[in-house]
Structure 1
Amino acid sequence: MKFPLRSQVGHLIVFIVAFIAFTNAEASVDTVTTYSASMKKEIKALVITPDSYDESKDYPVVYLLHGFSGNYKDWFTKVPSIESYANRYELIIVTPDGNFGSWYWDSPVNPQSKYETYVAEELVDFIDQQYSTIASRSGRAITGLSMGGHGALYLAFRHQDRFGAAGSMSGGVDIGPFPENWQMKDYLGAKAEFPERWKSYSVMGQLHLLSQNNLALIVSCGTGDFFYPVNLKLHEELTYNNIPHTFMTGPGGHTWNYWADAVQYHLLYFHNYFQSN
């Protein structure tokens, strides 16, 4: 049966309008205040839920960590397309505050800096209580940039009961070569005084916790990045130890342009992980 041309055009217009409305649908962005019992203070985070969010469904969650000197708003303000990825993959994105330069450790020097406990335990519990999530490791992933790339892998390696997938973008995955940088000695003490501590508080010092196929891993770093040598070393160590992972590299420096591009691949990687589980 053939429709009159006017009817066909009308159907086409309705389809186009519906398509535009769907593709332009905005995710919901909440600023939440969480309480850290371990640090006895309130900490903010952004929670991005897809436009399709429905409390009768459970959604996977990606925790996205900022870098040194950043804050919980960085990913949202510097990469506005983050909202569209929450819609596209129907997942929740959480961007917590990791303080100016905590490196996401429970500091052995500063008892007021327990960001490992905060992100991996307190924040995860809060999100699972307040939102409709897949409250298991199969529904959680974590990644970040620079200091946050280190933090994401460090936390995931040490909390494999919490996270099933993890990534790093331009991560400071081996802190050893940088003993005077980014105020790390304020949280660990001087490297010359505590060399073993500096080893164990680095991503490279946590590789012994990994086993085959227990964590889905993706690591990205541009060849022009000052962290490229340590990321290449991580890739080589993971390969030597037969730990499956995706290693992505190419032209790029320690810049938001690189991270805005890289995060697309990380979120697609996590989406595929969630779908397979």
Structure 2
Amino acid sequence: MKVLTETWWSAAIGREKTVTVVLPPSYSPVGGPFPVLYLLHGFGGNRNTWLQCANLSAVVDSHRLVLVLPESGRAWFINDARGRRYEDYLVHEVVDHVDAAFNTVPTRDGRAVGGFSMGGAAALYQALLHGDRFSVVASNGGAFEAPLREGDPYEALRGDRNLAIPSTRDHERVWGPAGSEVRRRYDPYSLIRNRDPRHPIEVYLDIGLDDYPRMISMNRRTRDALTAGSVPHEYRERPGGHDWDFVDAGLRDLFAFTQGHLLSA
């Protein structure tokens, strides 16, 4: 695989932002265009976090997908309560820049969005809100119920230095207080119920059997909501916890699902 960076001034964020772009060996700037998978990191990650996955190179090399890795750090990929516009940045600026700079399928049928934890949840939100931009969602351990969280359900786990889940303060800086407009906008169950039928999506979601019980429960509830809403999806529970080892072990399935549901020239 070939790893590149693209940097430009982001009007949505108000400063220069950089994305990492990963090209498969089959990529060519001419000829048939390539579908694109936008992968979003988890809380506190960055645009290079996905590159730490040991299986990524082999998986990229065996699929015909351009991989785009944006970053938001400890902000979610949403337009949040503090006015940070990462939804606008991702859905409009990043997508438009990638389509202009690379040989891509420049339609919803050629675009997927996925991610881990925070990124997996945001991927589902944005595909449901912007079905004109994305047709496939792929989530590992998605934190889908973040807009519904009150207080700190992970307080008992705060002694774990590897815990990458925001404190109550950090959470409410993004989402605002319970009942806020931001929370209402991204409520996953409302988004599923009210999705635009003109833009169907395909969803892949999995969760580790050793993940936090709350995470397992919310993934099961999201699965049930997708079923009730007749949203085509594939759901898996497999060994692993809420970590990048779990993500890495599932890369082949995630890429196969994504490639199988995208338009490819």
1:249 aligns with 2:237: yes
**1:121-151, CA deviations, whole angstroms, 9 ceiling, x for partnerless residues?**
1000000000010101111101000000111
Aligned to 1:172, the other structure's residue is in SS state: coil
Q: Distance in 2 between matches of 1:80 and 1:129?
A: 30
1:106 maps to which residue?
79
Give, as a single letter, the amino acid of the residue that structure 1 aligns with 2:36: V
Checking the alignment, whether the CA contact within 8 Å between 1:213 and 1:244 is kept in structure 2 is no
Decide whether aligned partners of structure 1 residues 37 and 121 sit closer, same or farther in structure 2, where only a CA change above 3 A counts.
same
Decide whether aligned partners of structure 1 residues 213 and 158 sit closer, same or farther in structure 2, where only a CA change above 3 A counts.
closer
Q: Distance in 1 between matches of 2:264 and 2:234?
A: 16
**1:65-112, CA deviations, whole angstroms, 9 ceiling, x for partnerless residues?**
100011000000x214323222211210011112x22221111x322x
Q: Distance in 1 between matches of 2:251 and 2:198?
A: 24
TM-score after normalising by structure 1 = 0.83
Unmatched 5+ stretches in structure 2: 153-164
Q: 2:17 aligns with which of 23, 43, 50?
A: 43
1:161 aligns with 2:132: yes
Aligned to 1:243, the other structure's residue is in SS state: coil
Q: 1:190 aligns with which of 177, 186, 211?
A: 177
Decide whether aligned partners of structure 1 residues 157 and 73 sit closer, same or farther in structure 2, where only a CA change above 3 A counts.
same
Aligned to 2:250, the other structure's residue is in SS state: helix
Q: 2:253 aligns with which of 224, 242, 265?
A: 265
Checking the alignment, whether the CA contact within 8 Å between 2:2 and 2:23 is kept in structure 1 is yes
Checking the alignment, whether the CA contact within 8 Å between 1:61 and 1:91 is kept in structure 2 is yes
Q: Distance in 2 between matches of 1:121 and 1:68?
A: 22
2:35 maps to which residue?
60
Q: Distance in 2 between matches of 1:276 and 1:125?
A: 19
1:224 maps to which residue?
210
Aligned to 1:260, the other structure's residue is in SS state: helix
Q: How many residues align?
A: 245
1:177 aligns with 2:164: no
Decide whether aligned partners of structure 1 residues 86 and 122 sit closer, same or farther in structure 2, where only a CA change above 3 A counts.
same
Q: Distance in 2 between matches of 1:230 and 1:47?
A: 31
Unmatched 5+ stretches in structure 1: 1-26
1:119 aligns with 2:90: yes
**1:25-51, CA deviations, whole angstroms, 9 ceiling, x for partnerless residues?**
xx1100221321122211111100111
Give, as a single letter, the amino acid of the residue that structure 1 aligns with 2:185: S
Aligned to 1:29, the other structure's residue is in SS state: strand
Give, as a single letter, the amino acid of the residue that structure 2 aligns with 1:128: D
Aligned to 1:258, the other structure's residue is in SS state: helix
Measured after TM superposition, the shift of residue 275 of structure 1 is 5.4
Decide whether aligned partners of structure 1 residues 115 and 213 sit closer, same or farther in structure 2, where only a CA change above 3 A counts.
closer
Within a 5 Å distance, the mapping from 1:131-142 to structure 2 comes to: 131-142=102-113
1:71 aligns with 2:46: yes
TM-score after normalising by structure 2 = 0.86
Segment of structure 1 superposing worse, 170-179 or 243-252: 170-179
Q: 1:143 aligns with which of 103, 111, 114?
A: 114
Measured after TM superposition, the shift of residue 197 of structure 1 is 4.1
2:187 maps to which residue?
202
Checking the alignment, whether the CA contact within 8 Å between 1:169 and 1:221 is kept in structure 2 is yes
Give, as a single letter, the amino acid of the residue that structure 2 aligns with 1:32: E
Checking the alignment, whether the CA contact within 8 Å between 1:59 and 1:132 is kept in structure 2 is yes
Larger radius of gyration: 1
Q: Distance in 2 between matches of 1:213 and 1:122?
A: 21
Give, as a single letter, the amino acid of the residue that structure 2 aligns with 1:33: T
Decide whether aligned partners of structure 1 residues 249 and 213 sit closer, same or farther in structure 2, where only a CA change above 3 A counts.
farther
Decide whether aligned partners of structure 1 residues 238 and 212 sit closer, same or farther in structure 2, where only a CA change above 3 A counts.
farther
> Percent of counterpart pairs with the same letter?
28
